[in-house]
Structure 1
Amino acid sequence: MISVSIIGSGNVATHLFKAFTKTKSVTVKQWFSRDISKISSYKNDVDVIDDFSKLTEADIYIIAVSDDAIPEVSEALPFENRLVVHTSGSVSLYKLDKKNRRGVFYPLQTFSKEAKVDFKTIPLCIETIGKKDYPLLKSLAEALGSSSHKINGDQRKALHLAAVFVNNFSNQMYRIAHEITEMEGVEFDILKPLILETAKKVQDLSPYMAQTGPAKRNDNKTIKRHLKQLESEEHKTIYSLLTESIKKTHGTSILRRSSEQASSVTKTIET
Protein backbone atom coordinates (compact mmCIF):
# COMPACT_ATOMS: atom_id res chain seq x y z
CA MET A 1 0.00 0.00 0.00
CA ILE A 2 1.38 3.42 -1.01
CA SER A 3 0.56 6.22 1.41
CA VAL A 4 0.28 9.77 0.10
CA SER A 5 -0.50 13.18 1.53
CA ILE A 6 -1.89 15.85 -0.76
CA ILE A 7 -0.96 19.51 -0.32
CA GLY A 8 -3.25 21.94 -2.14
CA SER A 9 -6.96 22.24 -2.82
CA GLY A 10 -7.18 23.20 -6.49
CA ASN A 11 -8.34 21.26 -9.53
CA VAL A 12 -5.39 18.86 -9.75
CA ALA A 13 -5.39 18.13 -6.01
CA THR A 14 -9.12 17.43 -6.00
CA HIS A 15 -9.01 15.09 -8.99
CA LEU A 16 -5.99 13.23 -7.59
CA PHE A 17 -7.73 12.74 -4.26
CA LYS A 18 -10.85 11.35 -5.93
CA ALA A 19 -8.77 9.05 -8.14
CA PHE A 20 -6.60 7.75 -5.28
CA THR A 21 -9.63 6.90 -3.14
CA LYS A 22 -10.89 4.61 -5.91
CA THR A 23 -7.70 2.51 -5.94
CA LYS A 24 -6.94 -0.52 -3.80
CA SER A 25 -3.22 0.13 -3.48
CA VAL A 26 -3.12 3.82 -2.47
CA THR A 27 -4.27 5.42 0.75
CA VAL A 28 -4.54 9.18 1.23
CA LYS A 29 -3.37 9.82 4.79
CA GLN A 30 -3.93 13.58 4.88
CA TRP A 31 -5.11 16.47 2.75
CA PHE A 32 -3.67 19.91 3.52
CA SER A 33 -5.04 23.30 2.55
CA ARG A 34 -4.24 26.70 4.01
CA ASP A 35 -7.95 27.43 3.60
CA ILE A 36 -9.44 24.34 5.18
CA SER A 37 -12.96 25.39 4.20
CA LYS A 38 -12.12 24.41 0.61
CA ILE A 39 -11.73 20.74 1.56
CA SER A 40 -13.88 20.54 4.70
CA SER A 41 -16.58 18.67 2.77
CA TYR A 42 -14.16 15.71 2.59
CA LYS A 43 -13.47 15.56 6.34
CA ASN A 44 -15.37 12.27 6.67
CA ASP A 45 -13.18 10.68 3.99
CA VAL A 46 -9.72 11.88 4.95
CA ASP A 47 -7.84 13.75 7.68
CA VAL A 48 -8.06 17.38 6.49
CA ILE A 49 -5.55 19.82 8.00
CA ASP A 50 -4.40 23.42 7.65
CA ASP A 51 -1.23 23.21 9.74
CA PHE A 52 2.04 21.84 8.32
CA SER A 53 3.14 20.72 11.78
CA LYS A 54 0.28 18.18 11.77
CA LEU A 55 1.62 16.34 8.73
CA THR A 56 2.33 12.72 9.60
CA GLU A 57 4.69 10.33 7.80
CA ALA A 58 3.73 9.21 4.29
CA ASP A 59 5.52 7.57 1.38
CA ILE A 60 4.88 10.52 -0.95
CA TYR A 61 3.87 14.14 -0.39
CA ILE A 62 2.22 15.63 -3.47
CA ILE A 63 2.35 19.42 -3.78
CA ALA A 64 -0.49 20.43 -6.10
CA VAL A 65 -0.53 24.21 -5.77
CA SER A 66 0.03 27.16 -8.11
CA ASP A 67 3.46 27.22 -9.77
CA ASP A 68 4.63 30.31 -7.89
CA ALA A 69 3.77 28.78 -4.50
CA ILE A 70 5.73 25.54 -4.96
CA PRO A 71 9.11 26.76 -3.58
CA GLU A 72 7.49 28.39 -0.54
CA VAL A 73 5.35 25.36 0.28
CA SER A 74 8.20 22.88 -0.07
CA GLU A 75 10.40 25.04 2.16
CA ALA A 76 7.69 25.15 4.83
CA LEU A 77 7.46 21.37 5.17
CA PRO A 78 8.66 20.44 8.69
CA PHE A 79 10.61 17.29 7.82
CA GLU A 80 13.62 16.06 5.84
CA ASN A 81 14.62 13.18 3.56
CA ARG A 82 11.08 12.28 2.51
CA LEU A 83 9.82 12.10 -1.07
CA VAL A 84 8.17 15.37 -2.07
CA VAL A 85 6.87 15.88 -5.61
CA HIS A 86 5.05 18.64 -7.44
CA THR A 87 2.52 18.31 -10.27
CA SER A 88 3.56 21.27 -12.46
CA GLY A 89 4.46 20.98 -16.12
CA SER A 90 6.73 24.04 -16.17
CA VAL A 91 8.39 24.38 -12.75
CA SER A 92 11.90 22.98 -12.35
CA LEU A 93 12.39 19.98 -10.12
CA TYR A 94 15.09 21.99 -8.36
CA LYS A 95 12.56 24.56 -7.13
CA LEU A 96 11.62 22.03 -4.47
CA ASP A 97 13.56 22.43 -1.24
CA LYS A 98 16.62 20.16 -1.28
CA LYS A 99 16.14 19.06 2.33
CA ASN A 100 13.82 16.38 0.93
CA ARG A 101 14.01 13.85 -1.90
CA ARG A 102 12.54 15.53 -4.94
CA GLY A 103 10.39 14.50 -7.87
CA VAL A 104 7.72 15.51 -10.37
CA PHE A 105 4.39 13.72 -10.87
CA TYR A 106 2.90 15.66 -13.79
CA PRO A 107 -0.48 14.56 -15.17
CA LEU A 108 -0.64 15.85 -18.72
CA GLN A 109 -4.29 16.79 -18.90
CA THR A 110 -6.62 19.75 -18.46
CA PHE A 111 -8.48 19.78 -15.15
CA SER A 112 -11.69 21.54 -14.15
CA LYS A 113 -13.44 20.67 -10.91
CA GLU A 114 -16.77 20.38 -12.74
CA ALA A 115 -15.50 17.95 -15.41
CA LYS A 116 -14.91 14.27 -14.68
CA VAL A 117 -11.59 12.78 -15.78
CA ASP A 118 -10.43 9.20 -16.20
CA PHE A 119 -6.83 8.75 -15.11
CA LYS A 120 -6.61 5.63 -17.26
CA THR A 121 -6.45 7.99 -20.24
CA ILE A 122 -4.02 10.48 -18.67
CA PRO A 123 -0.24 10.21 -19.29
CA LEU A 124 1.77 10.78 -16.11
CA CYS A 125 5.20 12.30 -16.64
CA ILE A 126 7.69 11.36 -13.95
CA GLU A 127 10.98 12.99 -13.08
CA THR A 128 13.21 12.24 -10.09
CA ILE A 129 16.68 12.98 -8.80
CA GLY A 130 17.13 9.79 -6.79
CA LYS A 131 16.96 6.62 -8.90
CA LYS A 132 15.23 4.68 -6.12
CA ASP A 133 12.32 7.13 -6.12
CA TYR A 134 11.30 6.55 -9.73
CA PRO A 135 9.88 3.02 -9.23
CA LEU A 136 7.68 4.29 -6.39
CA LEU A 137 6.20 7.08 -8.53
CA LYS A 138 5.79 4.65 -11.42
CA SER A 139 3.85 2.33 -9.10
CA LEU A 140 1.69 5.28 -8.04
CA ALA A 141 0.88 6.00 -11.70
CA GLU A 142 0.10 2.33 -12.32
CA ALA A 143 -2.25 2.31 -9.33
CA LEU A 144 -4.26 5.01 -11.12
CA GLY A 145 -4.25 2.97 -14.31
CA SER A 146 -2.23 5.67 -16.06
CA SER A 147 0.62 5.28 -18.50
CA SER A 148 3.88 6.57 -17.02
CA HIS A 149 6.65 8.33 -18.92
CA LYS A 150 10.15 8.94 -17.59
CA ILE A 151 11.21 12.38 -18.81
CA ASN A 152 13.72 15.09 -17.99
CA GLY A 153 13.04 18.73 -17.18
CA ASP A 154 13.52 20.04 -20.73
CA GLN A 155 11.19 17.38 -22.14
CA ARG A 156 8.53 18.21 -19.55
CA LYS A 157 8.71 21.93 -20.31
CA ALA A 158 8.42 21.16 -24.04
CA LEU A 159 5.33 19.03 -23.38
CA HIS A 160 3.80 21.78 -21.26
CA LEU A 161 4.40 24.37 -23.97
CA ALA A 162 2.94 22.05 -26.61
CA ALA A 163 -0.03 21.41 -24.32
CA VAL A 164 -0.79 25.14 -24.24
CA PHE A 165 -1.08 25.09 -28.04
CA VAL A 166 -3.25 21.97 -28.30
CA ASN A 167 -5.45 22.76 -25.31
CA ASN A 168 -5.53 26.39 -24.17
CA PHE A 169 -5.12 27.96 -27.60
CA SER A 170 -7.52 25.48 -29.20
CA ASN A 171 -10.10 26.27 -26.54
CA GLN A 172 -9.73 29.98 -27.31
CA MET A 173 -10.44 29.14 -30.96
CA TYR A 174 -13.62 27.43 -29.79
CA ARG A 175 -14.53 30.58 -27.88
CA ILE A 176 -14.05 32.74 -31.00
CA ALA A 177 -16.12 30.29 -33.03
CA HIS A 178 -18.81 30.50 -30.35
CA GLU A 179 -18.85 34.31 -30.68
CA ILE A 180 -19.13 34.08 -34.47
CA THR A 181 -22.07 31.66 -34.36
CA GLU A 182 -23.78 33.61 -31.56
CA MET A 183 -23.76 36.78 -33.67
CA GLU A 184 -25.87 35.07 -36.34
CA GLY A 185 -28.05 33.09 -33.93
CA VAL A 186 -26.57 29.73 -34.93
CA GLU A 187 -26.12 26.99 -32.34
CA PHE A 188 -22.46 26.30 -31.51
CA ASP A 189 -23.43 22.65 -30.90
CA ILE A 190 -23.64 22.14 -34.66
CA LEU A 191 -19.83 22.43 -34.72
CA LYS A 192 -19.22 19.77 -32.06
CA PRO A 193 -19.07 16.77 -34.45
CA LEU A 194 -16.41 18.66 -36.43
CA ILE A 195 -14.44 19.35 -33.24
CA LEU A 196 -14.55 15.65 -32.33
CA GLU A 197 -13.58 14.53 -35.85
CA THR A 198 -10.62 16.94 -35.89
CA ALA A 199 -9.34 15.49 -32.62
CA LYS A 200 -10.01 11.96 -33.84
CA LYS A 201 -8.04 12.40 -37.07
CA VAL A 202 -4.75 13.17 -35.32
CA GLN A 203 -5.00 9.83 -33.50
CA ASP A 204 -4.22 8.17 -36.84
CA LEU A 205 -2.68 10.92 -38.98
CA SER A 206 0.05 13.46 -38.26
CA PRO A 207 -1.27 17.03 -37.82
CA TYR A 208 0.51 17.88 -41.07
CA MET A 209 -1.38 15.22 -43.02
CA ALA A 210 -4.70 16.00 -41.31
CA GLN A 211 -4.71 19.68 -42.29
CA THR A 212 -7.47 20.86 -44.63
CA GLY A 213 -9.10 24.19 -45.44
CA PRO A 214 -8.70 27.32 -47.56
CA ALA A 215 -5.19 28.20 -46.33
CA LYS A 216 -3.78 24.79 -47.26
CA ARG A 217 -5.30 24.87 -50.74
CA ASN A 218 -4.40 28.55 -51.17
CA ASP A 219 -8.04 29.54 -51.71
CA ASN A 220 -7.50 33.28 -51.47
CA LYS A 221 -11.04 34.19 -52.55
CA THR A 222 -12.50 32.33 -49.56
CA ILE A 223 -9.86 33.79 -47.24
CA LYS A 224 -10.75 37.32 -48.34
CA ARG A 225 -14.46 36.63 -47.83
CA HIS A 226 -13.78 35.32 -44.33
CA LEU A 227 -11.72 38.38 -43.41
CA LYS A 228 -14.50 40.62 -44.71
CA GLN A 229 -17.05 38.72 -42.60
CA LEU A 230 -15.08 39.18 -39.38
CA GLU A 231 -16.04 42.35 -37.54
CA SER A 232 -13.48 42.12 -34.74
CA GLU A 233 -9.98 43.37 -35.59
CA GLU A 234 -8.58 40.92 -33.07
CA HIS A 235 -10.30 38.02 -34.82
CA LYS A 236 -9.00 39.26 -38.20
CA THR A 237 -5.46 39.35 -36.83
CA ILE A 238 -5.74 35.80 -35.45
CA TYR A 239 -7.29 34.51 -38.69
CA SER A 240 -4.54 36.14 -40.80
CA LEU A 241 -1.73 34.90 -38.55
CA LEU A 242 -2.96 31.30 -38.53
CA THR A 243 -3.69 31.39 -42.26
CA GLU A 244 -0.15 32.53 -43.03
CA SER A 245 1.28 29.89 -40.67
CA ILE A 246 -0.65 27.12 -42.47
CA LYS A 247 0.45 28.49 -45.85
CA LYS A 248 4.09 28.46 -44.79
CA THR A 249 3.79 24.94 -43.40
CA HIS A 250 2.24 23.57 -46.59
CA GLY A 251 4.19 25.67 -49.07
CA THR A 252 1.21 27.51 -50.49
CA SER A 253 2.53 30.88 -49.34
CA ILE A 254 5.84 30.26 -51.12
CA LEU A 255 4.07 28.84 -54.18
CA ARG A 256 1.82 31.90 -54.36
CA ARG A 257 4.79 34.26 -54.22
CA SER A 258 6.66 32.20 -56.82
CA SER A 259 3.60 32.29 -59.08
CA GLU A 260 3.28 36.06 -58.66
CA GLN A 261 6.99 36.50 -59.41
CA ALA A 262 6.74 34.28 -62.50
CA SER A 263 3.70 36.23 -63.69
CA SER A 264 5.58 39.49 -63.21
CA VAL A 265 8.57 38.18 -65.19
CA THR A 266 6.26 37.01 -68.01
CA LYS A 267 4.59 40.43 -68.22
CA THR A 268 7.99 42.11 -68.31
CA ILE A 269 9.15 39.86 -71.16
CA GLU A 270 5.92 40.43 -73.08
CA THR A 271 6.30 44.18 -72.64
Structure 2
Amino acid sequence: MTKIVLLGAGNVASHLYKAFKHCKNTNVVQWYNRSINSIKPFENEVNITDQLDQLIEADVYIVCVSDDAIETLTSALPFKDRLVVHTSGSASLYDIDKKLFRGVFYPLQTFSKSVNLDFTTVPICIETLRKQDYKLLQTLGENLGCKTYKVNPDQRPALHLAAVFVNNFTNQIYRIAHEITERHGAEFDILKPLITETARKIQDVSPYMAQTGPAKRNDKKTIKRHLKLLDNEHHEAIYKLMTSSIKKTHNGR
Protein backbone atom coordinates (compact mmCIF):
# COMPACT_ATOMS: atom_id res chain seq x y z
CA MET A 1 0.00 0.00 0.00
CA THR A 2 1.52 3.31 -1.11
CA LYS A 3 0.97 6.10 1.40
CA ILE A 4 0.40 9.52 -0.15
CA VAL A 5 0.24 13.06 1.19
CA LEU A 6 -1.30 15.67 -1.10
CA LEU A 7 -0.03 19.23 -0.85
CA GLY A 8 -2.37 21.80 -2.38
CA ALA A 9 -6.06 21.83 -3.24
CA GLY A 10 -6.39 23.02 -6.83
CA ASN A 11 -7.90 21.24 -9.82
CA VAL A 12 -5.16 18.62 -10.12
CA ALA A 13 -5.14 17.81 -6.40
CA SER A 14 -8.92 17.44 -6.33
CA HIS A 15 -8.92 14.99 -9.23
CA LEU A 16 -5.95 13.04 -7.87
CA TYR A 17 -7.67 12.68 -4.49
CA LYS A 18 -10.81 11.28 -6.13
CA ALA A 19 -8.77 8.90 -8.27
CA PHE A 20 -6.53 7.64 -5.45
CA LYS A 21 -9.55 7.21 -3.20
CA HIS A 22 -10.81 4.45 -5.50
CA CYS A 23 -7.44 2.67 -5.86
CA LYS A 24 -6.93 -0.53 -3.92
CA ASN A 25 -3.17 -0.13 -3.52
CA THR A 26 -2.95 3.54 -2.61
CA ASN A 27 -3.94 5.45 0.50
CA VAL A 28 -4.09 9.24 0.80
CA VAL A 29 -3.11 9.48 4.45
CA GLN A 30 -3.19 13.27 4.62
CA TRP A 31 -4.17 16.35 2.65
CA TYR A 32 -2.47 19.69 3.31
CA ASN A 33 -3.51 23.11 2.11
CA ARG A 34 -2.55 26.50 3.51
CA SER A 35 -6.27 27.39 3.53
CA ILE A 36 -8.02 24.68 5.50
CA ASN A 37 -11.43 25.78 4.25
CA SER A 38 -10.67 24.46 0.75
CA ILE A 39 -10.34 20.89 2.05
CA LYS A 40 -12.73 21.13 5.02
CA PRO A 41 -15.47 19.19 3.16
CA PHE A 42 -13.16 16.13 3.18
CA GLU A 43 -12.29 16.12 6.89
CA ASN A 44 -14.43 13.03 7.52
CA GLU A 45 -12.63 11.11 4.76
CA VAL A 46 -8.98 12.03 5.20
CA ASN A 47 -6.65 13.66 7.72
CA ILE A 48 -6.50 17.34 6.75
CA THR A 49 -4.14 20.06 7.93
CA ASP A 50 -2.98 23.59 7.19
CA GLN A 51 0.20 23.20 9.24
CA LEU A 52 3.39 21.93 7.60
CA ASP A 53 4.82 20.83 10.95
CA GLN A 54 1.88 18.43 11.29
CA LEU A 55 2.67 16.50 8.11
CA ILE A 56 2.87 12.77 8.70
CA GLU A 57 5.24 10.24 7.15
CA ALA A 58 4.36 8.91 3.70
CA ASP A 59 5.94 7.13 0.73
CA VAL A 60 5.43 10.14 -1.52
CA TYR A 61 4.36 13.76 -1.12
CA ILE A 62 2.61 15.11 -4.21
CA VAL A 63 2.85 18.88 -4.63
CA CYS A 64 -0.14 20.30 -6.52
CA VAL A 65 0.44 24.05 -6.35
CA SER A 66 1.24 26.78 -8.87
CA ASP A 67 4.68 26.59 -10.48
CA ASP A 68 5.82 29.74 -8.67
CA ALA A 69 4.97 28.22 -5.28
CA ILE A 70 6.81 24.90 -5.65
CA GLU A 71 10.20 26.15 -4.48
CA THR A 72 8.79 28.09 -1.53
CA LEU A 73 6.58 25.23 -0.33
CA THR A 74 9.17 22.48 -0.64
CA SER A 75 11.87 24.50 1.07
CA ALA A 76 9.49 24.96 4.01
CA LEU A 77 8.86 21.23 4.45
CA PRO A 78 10.08 20.18 7.93
CA PHE A 79 11.90 17.02 6.79
CA LYS A 80 14.53 15.79 4.35
CA ASP A 81 15.36 12.67 2.36
CA ARG A 82 11.72 11.91 1.52
CA LEU A 83 10.26 11.64 -1.97
CA VAL A 84 8.51 14.84 -3.00
CA VAL A 85 7.16 15.26 -6.53
CA HIS A 86 5.34 18.04 -8.31
CA THR A 87 2.67 17.71 -11.00
CA SER A 88 3.75 20.55 -13.28
CA GLY A 89 4.40 20.19 -16.98
CA SER A 90 6.78 23.13 -17.20
CA ALA A 91 8.45 23.61 -13.80
CA SER A 92 11.88 22.06 -13.33
CA LEU A 93 12.43 19.02 -11.16
CA TYR A 94 15.13 21.15 -9.50
CA ASP A 95 12.50 23.64 -8.29
CA ILE A 96 11.97 21.13 -5.49
CA ASP A 97 14.31 21.76 -2.56
CA LYS A 98 17.54 19.76 -2.78
CA LYS A 99 17.18 18.38 0.77
CA LEU A 100 14.49 16.09 -0.66
CA PHE A 101 14.37 13.17 -3.08
CA ARG A 102 12.90 14.89 -6.13
CA GLY A 103 10.59 13.82 -8.92
CA VAL A 104 7.80 14.79 -11.30
CA PHE A 105 4.43 13.06 -11.62
CA TYR A 106 2.81 15.04 -14.46
CA PRO A 107 -0.71 14.02 -15.53
CA LEU A 108 -1.00 15.41 -19.05
CA GLN A 109 -4.66 16.40 -19.15
CA THR A 110 -6.98 19.36 -18.70
CA PHE A 111 -8.53 19.55 -15.24
CA SER A 112 -11.66 21.37 -14.10
CA LYS A 113 -13.05 20.75 -10.62
CA SER A 114 -16.64 20.67 -11.85
CA VAL A 115 -15.99 18.21 -14.69
CA ASN A 116 -15.64 14.49 -13.98
CA LEU A 117 -12.63 12.76 -15.50
CA ASP A 118 -11.82 9.13 -16.23
CA PHE A 119 -8.28 8.97 -14.90
CA THR A 120 -7.54 5.75 -16.78
CA THR A 121 -7.35 7.85 -19.96
CA VAL A 122 -4.72 10.21 -18.51
CA PRO A 123 -1.06 9.70 -19.52
CA ILE A 124 1.39 10.21 -16.65
CA CYS A 125 4.81 11.66 -17.47
CA ILE A 126 7.46 10.71 -14.92
CA GLU A 127 10.85 12.24 -14.23
CA THR A 128 13.11 11.26 -11.33
CA LEU A 129 16.74 11.35 -10.23
CA ARG A 130 16.74 7.92 -8.55
CA LYS A 131 15.72 4.63 -10.18
CA GLN A 132 13.79 3.44 -7.14
CA ASP A 133 11.71 6.64 -7.18
CA TYR A 134 10.84 6.10 -10.84
CA LYS A 135 9.64 2.59 -10.06
CA LEU A 136 7.43 3.84 -7.22
CA LEU A 137 5.87 6.58 -9.39
CA GLN A 138 5.39 4.16 -12.28
CA THR A 139 3.53 1.78 -9.97
CA LEU A 140 1.49 4.69 -8.64
CA GLY A 141 0.43 5.62 -12.18
CA GLU A 142 -0.37 2.01 -13.05
CA ASN A 143 -2.51 1.71 -9.90
CA LEU A 144 -4.57 4.59 -11.28
CA GLY A 145 -4.98 2.62 -14.51
CA CYS A 146 -2.87 5.15 -16.41
CA LYS A 147 -0.26 4.65 -19.09
CA THR A 148 3.05 6.01 -17.82
CA TYR A 149 5.91 7.56 -19.78
CA LYS A 150 9.50 8.17 -18.73
CA VAL A 151 10.43 11.66 -19.92
CA ASN A 152 13.54 13.82 -19.69
CA PRO A 153 13.90 17.52 -18.78
CA ASP A 154 13.62 18.57 -22.45
CA GLN A 155 10.68 16.37 -23.41
CA ARG A 156 8.33 17.34 -20.57
CA PRO A 157 8.30 21.14 -21.23
CA ALA A 158 7.94 20.40 -24.96
CA LEU A 159 4.92 18.22 -24.22
CA HIS A 160 3.46 20.95 -22.01
CA LEU A 161 3.95 23.54 -24.78
CA ALA A 162 2.33 21.21 -27.31
CA ALA A 163 -0.53 20.65 -24.84
CA VAL A 164 -1.18 24.39 -24.74
CA PHE A 165 -1.61 24.35 -28.52
CA VAL A 166 -3.91 21.32 -28.66
CA ASN A 167 -5.98 22.24 -25.61
CA ASN A 168 -5.86 25.88 -24.50
CA PHE A 169 -5.48 27.41 -27.94
CA THR A 170 -7.98 24.98 -29.47
CA ASN A 171 -10.50 25.78 -26.74
CA GLN A 172 -10.11 29.48 -27.52
CA ILE A 173 -10.82 28.69 -31.18
CA TYR A 174 -14.00 26.92 -30.01
CA ARG A 175 -14.93 30.06 -28.09
CA ILE A 176 -14.47 32.21 -31.19
CA ALA A 177 -16.59 29.77 -33.21
CA HIS A 178 -19.25 30.01 -30.49
CA GLU A 179 -19.23 33.81 -30.75
CA ILE A 180 -19.54 33.63 -34.55
CA THR A 181 -22.53 31.28 -34.45
CA GLU A 182 -24.23 33.36 -31.74
CA ARG A 183 -23.63 36.53 -33.73
CA HIS A 184 -25.49 35.07 -36.71
CA GLY A 185 -28.20 33.20 -34.78
CA ALA A 186 -26.89 29.70 -35.59
CA GLU A 187 -26.67 26.78 -33.14
CA PHE A 188 -23.13 26.00 -31.96
CA ASP A 189 -24.27 22.43 -31.21
CA ILE A 190 -24.42 21.79 -34.97
CA LEU A 191 -20.61 21.95 -34.95
CA LYS A 192 -20.10 19.38 -32.20
CA PRO A 193 -20.05 16.28 -34.47
CA LEU A 194 -17.35 18.04 -36.53
CA ILE A 195 -15.34 18.76 -33.37
CA THR A 196 -15.62 15.09 -32.34
CA GLU A 197 -14.65 13.78 -35.79
CA THR A 198 -11.67 16.15 -35.98
CA ALA A 199 -10.31 14.72 -32.73
CA ARG A 200 -11.16 11.13 -33.72
CA LYS A 201 -9.49 11.37 -37.12
CA ILE A 202 -6.00 12.02 -35.75
CA GLN A 203 -6.16 8.72 -33.88
CA ASP A 204 -5.65 7.11 -37.30
CA VAL A 205 -3.75 9.65 -39.41
CA SER A 206 -1.27 12.44 -38.74
CA PRO A 207 -2.53 16.03 -38.27
CA TYR A 208 -0.77 16.87 -41.54
CA MET A 209 -2.75 14.24 -43.46
CA ALA A 210 -6.01 15.13 -41.68
CA GLN A 211 -5.95 18.79 -42.73
CA THR A 212 -8.73 19.95 -45.06
CA GLY A 213 -10.40 23.28 -45.84
CA PRO A 214 -10.03 26.42 -47.94
CA ALA A 215 -6.53 27.36 -46.76
CA LYS A 216 -5.08 23.97 -47.70
CA ARG A 217 -6.63 24.04 -51.17
CA ASN A 218 -5.86 27.76 -51.51
CA ASP A 219 -9.51 28.62 -52.15
CA LYS A 220 -9.13 32.39 -52.34
CA LYS A 221 -12.82 33.11 -53.00
CA THR A 222 -13.99 31.24 -49.89
CA ILE A 223 -11.29 32.84 -47.75
CA LYS A 224 -12.37 36.27 -48.98
CA ARG A 225 -16.03 35.52 -48.14
CA HIS A 226 -15.05 34.36 -44.65
CA LEU A 227 -13.05 37.49 -43.96
CA LYS A 228 -15.98 39.62 -45.10
CA LEU A 229 -18.24 37.83 -42.58
CA LEU A 230 -15.90 38.59 -39.68
CA ASP A 231 -16.82 41.88 -38.03
CA ASN A 232 -14.34 41.44 -35.16
CA GLU A 233 -10.78 42.61 -35.90
CA HIS A 234 -9.32 40.17 -33.39
CA HIS A 235 -11.09 37.22 -35.01
CA GLU A 236 -10.03 38.43 -38.44
CA ALA A 237 -6.39 38.57 -37.36
CA ILE A 238 -6.55 35.00 -36.01
CA TYR A 239 -8.22 33.77 -39.20
CA LYS A 240 -5.50 35.35 -41.34
CA LEU A 241 -2.73 33.98 -39.14
CA MET A 242 -4.12 30.43 -39.16
CA THR A 243 -4.77 30.59 -42.90
CA SER A 244 -1.21 31.73 -43.51
CA SER A 245 0.15 28.93 -41.31
CA ILE A 246 -1.84 26.24 -43.13
CA LYS A 247 -0.81 27.64 -46.53
CA LYS A 248 2.85 27.62 -45.51
CA THR A 249 2.59 24.02 -44.28
CA HIS A 250 0.76 22.62 -47.30
CA ASN A 251 1.62 24.94 -50.15
CA GLY A 252 5.01 26.28 -49.11
CA ARG A 253 3.80 29.89 -49.02
Tell me the CA shift for residue 186 of structure 1: 1.2
Greater Rg over alpha carbons, structure: 1
Using the TM superposition, give the Cα deviation of residue 31 of structure 1 relative to its aligned residue in structure 2, in angstroms.
Answer: 0.3
2:219 and 2:200 map into 1 onto residues whose CA distance is 25
Corresponding position of 2:245: 245
Q: Which residue of 1 aligns with 2:158?
A: 158
Partner of 2:203: 203
Match of 2:3 in 1: 3
Matched, 1:12 2:17: no
- What residue is the counterpart of 1:93 in the other structure? 93
Match of 2:167 in 1: 167
Structure 2: runs of 5 or more not aligned: none
Letter in 1 for 2:217: R
Give the residue type in structure 2 aligned to 1:59: D
Q: In the alignment, is residue 189 of structure 1 matched against residue 198 of structure 2? A: no
> 1:185 Cα deviation (Å)?
1.4
**Counterpart in the other structure of 1:177:** 177
Aligned length, in residue pairs: 253
Q: Distance in 2 between matches of 1:132 and 1:122?
A: 23
Instruction: State the secondary structure of the residue aligned to 2:154.
Output: helix
Q: State the superposition RMSD in angstroms.
A: 0.6
- 2:56 counterpart letter in structure 1: T
For residue 187 of structure 1, report the CA deviation from its aligned partner: 1.4
Equivalence for 1:266: none
Cα distance in 1 between the residues matched to 2:138 and 2:205: 30
Deviation at 1:3, TM superposition (A): 0.4
> Which residue is 2:68 aligned to?
68
**Scaled by the length of structure 2, what TM-score is found?**
0.99
SS in structure 2 opposite 1:133? helix
- Amino acid of the structure 1 residue aligned with 2:91: V
- The one-letter code sitting in structure 1 at the alignment partner of 2:244 is E
Matches of 2:116 and 2:227, distance apart in 1 = 38
Query: Is 1:56 the equivalent of 2:56?
Result: yes
With normalisation by structure 1, the TM-score equals 0.93
Partner of 1:153, secondary structure, is: coil
Partner residue of 1:108? 108
1:175 shift after superposition? 0.2
1:44: Cα distance to partner?
Answer: 0.6
Identity value in percent: 63
How far did 1:130 drift?
Answer: 1.1
User: Hey, what's the Cα distance between the residues in 1 that align with 2:189 and 2:250?
Assistant: 30
Aligned mates of 2:53, 2:126 — CA distance in 1: 28
Report the equivalent of 1:258.
Answer: none
Instruction: Say which SS state the counterpart of residue 3 (structure 1) adopts.
Output: strand
Q: Report how far residue 112 of structure 1 moved.
A: 0.1
Unaligned residue ranges in structure 1 (runs of 5+): 255-271
Tell me how far apart the structure 2 counterparts of residues 43 and 117 of structure 1 sit (CA, whole Å). 23
CA distance in 2, matches of 1:225, 1:48: 59
- 1:224 counterpart residue number: 224
Q: CA deviation at 1:178?
A: 0.4
User: Match for 1:218: what amino acid?
Assistant: N
- Following the alignment from structure 1 to structure 2, what is the Cα–Cα distance between the partners of residues 25 and 131? 21
SS at match of 1:163: helix
